[in-house]
Chains A and B, each alone.
Chain A
Amino acid sequence: MSERGRYGLIAAFDSAEALVEATRRAHAKGYRRMDAYSPMPIEGLGELVGCGEHEKGRVSWFALAGGVFGGCCAYALQYTSTTLGWYFLSGGKPANSWPDFIIVTFEMTVLFATFGAVFGMLWLNGFPKLYHPVFNVERFARASSDEFFLCIEERDEKFDIEKTRAFLEQFKPLEIVEVAK
């Protein structure tokens, strides 16, 4: 163990079912500070590690806020620049000819909704974050192709190195490793 201390215990599994089972049991046992890693999204796994509907909903709210912001700004820009600014008489239309403003408003709405969803997701996930303790585990490189990991962190109230290790053992993991900070 490095002098920086311990981040937690990580267990490697060879199937999604084993990971889901272990995470569910860990959640039932009262572990909260933990994270599950899988090479592809698994439905319902997020809820067990504290990223449920409410948390996902925040991404949607970012998208909505982005869309509303983009749309309002686009319309306001067109409205103010033609009414207060330079009025270009075209086709005898009034300064605030709203049907003509719809397209730019629409495009800016979807563009900023996109930005909201993507940058909101990145921000909520804490990116960019190029260093994380789990990367210290050699085997962890396989989390991005074919292995599944459950990491219980030391800061969890129920964490106890012996008991937690025994708890993880019962799911027959491929390996259990202590994660350096």
Chain B
Amino acid sequence: MNSRVERDKPPLMPPDLDLTSISDRLVNIVVKNKTPRSWFVATAFFVFLTLVYLFSISWVFKTGVGLFGLNIPVAWEFPIASTIWWIGIAHAGTLISGVLLLTRQNWRPAIARFAEAMAMFAIIFAGAYPLIHLGRPWFFYWLMPYPNTQGLWPNWKSPLIWDFFAITSYMLYTACFLYLDLLPDFATMRDRAKHRISRIFYGIMALGWRNSARHWARFDRANVILAAISAPIVVSVTGTISLDLAVTIVPGYHFTIFPAYFVAGALYSGFATVILIAVPFRSMFGLQDLITPRHIDYIAKIMLGFVLIVDYSYMCEIWTAFYSGAPYYYGVYWNRWFGFYAPVYWTTYFLNIVVPQLMWFKRVRRSIPVMFVIAMIADLGMWLERYFIVVTSTNRDYMPSAWLPKLPTGWDFAVLLGSIGGFCLLLFIFIRVVPLISMHDMRKLITRKKGDVETSQ
């Protein structure tokens, strides 16, 4: 019995880890250890992709959105599909830092920090996409309500305005949560930094945090409040974005199931991205004993749960389409199955329905290389899903005279790859400035563990 427990549950952290060693290890990654060469290689590559991003969006701003493969009736393609995809990735970070905090999951502390950073940077690129897609991004402030000489106000009944408010509040919320979590760690960095300039930087960022019991009491309360807010935020932001589609009367968009379906897909791809980030970082900085296969196993279980909801939604949608009795709805599905975009559709189904079933097996969940591949497939599958929803629905609407399939252009791919590069670059810079695992959470976990041992003896 005992040996079985040990085999099933290898420790989430090394048993000899204590307060001194955890702080030393995590601080030294930033201030003392030599930066691994792999970091420089990867960062150089991401700088290149970021330059591609900046160049291509500048060119799009100069020339216009006609560079993208979109035209009426396909007015939305890569930019909107990618917005939904990026914001979905952000959601897992929020869920990890919030809901797992409330449920006191002891595997949370090791992955929460970079999951939150992932959320922050994913929102930036999610938010940038609609602005690029506006065509005249310098007028983006027209989305905001402000008193103007024409006495005009935004159309509050439009999902695009809801979207603007949802993404903006989500971005500010995530920034607050990330900063709150960083505050005590900035204090540790301040106390341990070697150079005067970095001491001043961390000192200002720490705002004078001195680990007083009073600070902690209020900090804990604020943290719990933000964690409690995180669950409705996660549900509301992608839910609101899905309303952009669901509120229209375009066949293939107009499904009431969309909010729940989009949120499940968002969390599926987001948890996959957590794996994609955790795996290289643990090797790069020697954190194999802190981010263990058991952590990956737990993430995989959550992924499996959400992908099953996604699969259920696919079936539900097909059923609704045929049950509705509306020929336009049959048309959408007929077109998805056998039309121009059928390869995208069937690939998505294969990637999102068949491949994730591998995660039923513990051996797969505990195998880091296999999970890394599955996570990439999950992100790809979710991106294709967003793409086929956005494109297959609009390319054939009610007017056959307007039917026109559109293919993406090189600019579409340049912006998408560039945004991925920019996201990775921000993440790579972030982990060189702050510890990539939350030190105060780890210390709390260590003391809680020690307490458990003492009371059980």
Contact = CB atoms under 8 A, between A and B. Distances in A.
Interface in A42-56: 42, 45-52, 55-56
Interface of B: 18-20, 23-24, 27, 145, 151-153, 155-158, 161-162, 165-166, 169, 172-173, 176-177, 179-180, 184, 187-188, 190-192, 203-204, 207-222, 225-226, 229, 232-233, 236, 240, 243, 439-440, 443-444, 447
Interface in A100-120: 100-101, 103-104, 106-108, 110-111, 113-115, 117-118, 120
With most chain A CB atoms within 10 A of its CB, the pick from B203, B217, B443 is: B217
23 contacts: A40-B216, A40-B440, A42-B213, A48-B213, A50-B214, A55-B217, A56-B217, A56-B221, A59-B222, A86-B152, A88-B155, A90-B155, A97-B157, A103-B240, A106-B236, A111-B169, A114-B225, A115-B176, A117-B229, A127-B207, A144-B184, A145-B23, A145-B188
Contacts, number: 200
Contact of A120 (B145, B190, B212, B222): B222
Contacts of A49: 212-214
A154 interface: no
A68 B200 CA distance: 38
B347 to A, nearest CB: 33
Contacts of B217: 41, 45-47, 51-52, 55-56
Contact of A131 (B153, B180, B208, B209): B208
A111 B157 contact: no
Given A37-B211, A60-B221, A110 B232 contact: yes
Nearest to A142: B191
A124 interface: yes
Nearest to A123: B218
A90 B152 CA distance: 15
A37 B213 CA distance: 6
Given A39-B443, A45-B213, A121 B155 contact: no
Interface stretch (A1-9, A75-83, A156-164, A168-176): A75-83
Given A93-B157, A146-B23, A60 B225 contact: yes
A125 B218 contact: yes
A72 interface: no
A130 B203 contact: yes
B299 to A, nearest CB: 25
B153 A146 contact: no
Given A46-B214, A51-B218, A101-B156, A77 B145 contact: yes
A117 B210 contact: no
Given A107-B165, A115-B176, A130-B204, A85 B151 contact: yes
Contacts of A38: 211, 213, 216
With most chain B CB atoms within 10 A of its CB, the pick from A23, A85, A93, A131 is: A85
A134 interface: yes
B379 to A, nearest CB: 27
A63 B153 CA distance: 29
Nearest to A125: B215
A132 B165 contact: no
With most chain B CB atoms within 10 A of its CB, the pick from A97, A100, A118, A140 is: A118
Interface residues of A, number: 69
A11 interface: no
A143 B218 CA distance: 18
A65 interface: no
B290 to A, nearest CB: 16
A100 B215 contact: no
With most chain A CB atoms within 10 A of its CB, the pick from B211, B216, B232, B236 is: B211
6 A-B pairs with the lowest CB-CB distances in the bound complex, closest first: A46-B217, A145-B23, A81-B153, A141-B191, A121-B222, A41-B216
A166 B172 CA distance: 50
B165 to A, nearest CB: 5
A86 B151 contact: yes
B229 A36 contact: no
Contacts of A86: 151-153
Nearest to B190: A144
A122 interface: yes
B209 A118 contact: no
Contacts of A77: 145
A118 B226 CA distance: 8
Given A39-B443, A127-B209, A141-B192, 13 more contacts: A37-B210, A40-B444, A41-B216, A51-B214, A56-B220, A82-B153, A90-B158, A91-B157, A121-B221, A131-B208, A134-B210, A143-B191, A144-B190
Contacts of B190: 144
Contact of B156 (A42, A48, A78, A128): A78
Given A40-B440, A110-B169, A121-B221, A127 B208 contact: yes
Contacts of A100: 156-157
A51 B213 contact: yes
Nearest to B217: A46
B191 A103 contact: no
A130 B210 CA distance: 10
Contact of B157 (A90, A114, A124): A90
A167 interface: no
Nearest to A79: B156
A16 interface: yes
A121 B435 CA distance: 23
Contacts of A37: 210-213
A52 B379 CA distance: 46
Contacts of A130: 203-204, 207-208
Contacts of A146: 18-20, 23
Given A45-B216, A51-B218, A125-B214, A39 B156 contact: no
Contact of A104 (B24, B161, B211, B225): B161
B218 A55 contact: yes
Nearest to B444: A40
Contacts of B225: 59-60, 63, 113-114, 117
